[in-house]
Amino acid sequence: MATDTQIRIGVMGCAGIARKVSRAIHLAPNATIVAVASRSSEKAQTFATENNYPKSTKIHGSYESILEDQEVDALYIPLPTSLHVEWAIRAAEKGKHILLEKPVALNVAEFDKIVEACEANGVQIMDGTMWVHNPRTAKLQEFLSDSERFGQLKTVQSCFSYAGDENFLKNDIRVKPGLDGLGALGDAGWYAIRATLLANNFELPKTVTAFPGVVLNESGVILSCGASLSWEDGRTATIYCSFLANLTMEITAIGTNGTLRVHDFIIPYKETEASFRTITKGGFDKLVTAWVSPPSEHTVKTELPQEACMVREFARLVGEIKNNSAKPDGFWPSISRKTQLVVDAVKESVDNNYEQISLSGR
């Protein structure tokens, strides 16, 4: 049973990622699962049992039904991207706060409709990008903003790839045009784009240009792509995302005084700690046979897994609105929108023979 201080969350859809987030809700001290919905009661019940939901959890055999549940404060929505615009708007109209899986929509026009509904109904929206809630991320930002140790950002490279097996490449919703039609760009590219934006203090690039060599499946869904981003003052970034290459998730940010490297930025090698490397004013010995000083390794301990940190922060914001009449925090939808804008621009460049896309005024 939910306590007075816990935010009551309903899980709307039984996707694979919902297993991980369900565990995160169990671990977050200020949230609890009170309901689950699927397109059939049987599927919802099985999912609840398999994921150790409280015995009191309400089982809903339709998405419409959970929207009407008065005991649900907020909904976690892991539905296919093509369904987000309909169900997130309907959730907002019923006054439900929303934790929405990424990518948040098929394009920014859809996401703007979702945000409009959230603003009109005073509900919080946050996307399900977990790594930004890891305590390590605050330390990364601290280093990047240090004028002595890092200096001014010059360039960022970020990538996320993993090798999908034959079954994944044939049957997963992320390769289906009618479900998650943005493919590797929407799934893996979302993370790399978010990393480049974070390193740039969430300032949108001036231009985005996809690299030639994009791989599409026979339905036209992106399986692998890359892009370059450029800013007004000469900063640059490159991103790469793929379902066809070995598991890799990297950030390299290079400044005038220092360099930051993260090798496991999306899912840390260990759940209980996360590391990164920095070097400031690197140089060689006199014979140029070795570095004067190796990079520093920094390790940040995590009391809660990053996905539980995400749920805790989401529930905290919902609690402030519910109990203290606070306004929803606009930071989270604003960075979702910027990430989606860059995703859209990469897709537009791919669709237009790799032409340069301007983000001015978007």
Residues whose CB is less than 8 angstroms from the CB of residue 151 and which lie 6 or more positions away in sequence, other chains included: 255, 256, 257, 258
Residue 233 CB contacts under 8 Å (≥ 6 apart), including other chains: none
Neighbouring residues of 128: CB distance < 8 A, sequence distance ≥ 6? 17, 21, 76, 78, 99, 100, 101, 102, 310
Beta carbons within 10 angstroms of residue 87's beta carbon: 22
Instruction: Compute how many other C-beta atoms are within 10 angstroms of the C-beta atom of residue 154.
Output: 14
Q: Please compute Rg for the chain using Cα positions.
A: 21
Could you give the CA distance from residue 176 to residue 154 in angstroms, rounded to a whole number? 37
Distance CA 67, CA 92 (A): 9
Backbone angles phi, psi at 349, to 5 degrees: -65, -40
Active site residue 102: yes
* 90 DSSP 8-state letter: H
| Closest C-alpha among 142, 362, 359, 334 to residue 230 | 359
Q: Active site residue: 96, 102, 338, 347, which one?
A: 102
- CA-nearest of 326, 332, 275 to 302 is 275
Contact between residue 212 and residue 143 where contact means Cβ atoms under 8 Å apart: no
Catalytic residues: 102
